[in-house]
Amino acid sequence: MTSADAPTPPAESGRPEAEPGVRAGSPDRNLLPIWSTAALFVAIQVVDQMLSRRVSLLVLAGDSIQRDAIQSVEAVTDVLFIATTVVVLIAAAVRARPRWMNRIVVAYLALATLNLVLNVGTLVATAQFRPVEELRLLFDLALVYGNTVLVFAVWYRLLDAELEHGAFEFPVDPRRPDRDQGWVDYVFLSFNTNATFGPTAEVVHARTAKVLMMVQTSLSLLVLVVLVARIVGLADG
């Protein structure tokens, strides 16, 4: 067989072929869905407002520095939430999703995470509470738990969308091997990180995601160990 008769190898596209279970790149992969993301932001903001107000009622009047810090971060978070909502509504009206929307999401998430850390830290560091029923303290713990799951679920999806090769590797659904991950997958990942102090079936590749998981696990440990023990102590007393 001469060189002219040799089969011509297929032209390389410059992009590696997607392995089974690994998402292929697409133009919109790094853009978060508008309405579902907005709904999660509303849920985060509502829970955050309730938690901040509950923390302000629980700490003693003498702890003004902690309360003022929470209120300051809360005020800035409210402004960013309004700005994010306006941008999302405009993007939905013109049916466009510019890349810089993710920067606003990052700024809002950073402040929401800081506010969450301040709330948890205040609950842990406060030696005394105002007189309150144990059931209400359990409600506060539920707010902390739910807020942690929602905030970090958005972080994980944003990281998975922004990084070139993704931050996580999810198990393959044999019935739909080409299915992209949705919000349920990331909320499930965040919930498992809270409950089991780490991912269960997912593989974490990105270092940033590992750092965020360590932060989430630390908050979860503080909530489940320190605060629950304090509630038990109040009940026994």
- pLDDT category at 18 given cuts 50, 70, 90 is very low
Number of domains in the chain: 1
Whether 103 maps to a domain, the answer reads yes
What is the average per-residue pLDDT within 97-101?
66
What is the average per-residue pLDDT within 111-117?
85
Whether 22 maps to a domain, the answer reads no
- Could you count the other beta carbons within 10 Å of the beta carbon of residue 57? 13
Whether 21 maps to a domain, the answer reads no
Residue 201 confidence (pLDDT) = 81
* Residue 22 Cα to chain centre, angstroms: 22
Whether 56 maps to a domain, the answer reads yes
pLDDT in tens, 28-75: 555 677 778 778 888 888 888 888 777 776 665 445 666 676 677 777
Whether 17 maps to a domain, the answer reads no
**Bigger pLDDT: 231 vs 134:** 231
For the chain, what is the mean pLDDT? 74
Whether 214 maps to a domain, the answer reads yes
User: CA distances (Å), 80 to each of 56, 83, 103, in order?
Assistant: 21, 5, 11
Residue 187 confidence (pLDDT) = 93
What is the average per-residue pLDDT within 75-96?
71
For residue 100, what are the domain limits? 34-165+180-236
Q: Which amino acid belongs to residue 68?
A: D
With contact defined as beta carbons under 8 Å apart, do 100 and 197 qualify?
A: no
pLDDT in tens, 149-203: 999 999 999 898 888 888 888 888 888 878 788 889 999 999 999 888 777 788 8
Residue the block writes with tokens 């297929």: 10
Whether 107 maps to a domain, the answer reads yes
Beta bridge partners of 204: 168
Q: Which amino acid belongs to residue 178?
A: D
104 exposure class (CB count in 10 Å sphere: 0-12, 13-18, 19+): middle
Query: pTM for this structure?
Result: 0.75
The secondary structure element, H or E, covering residue 233 is helix 228-236
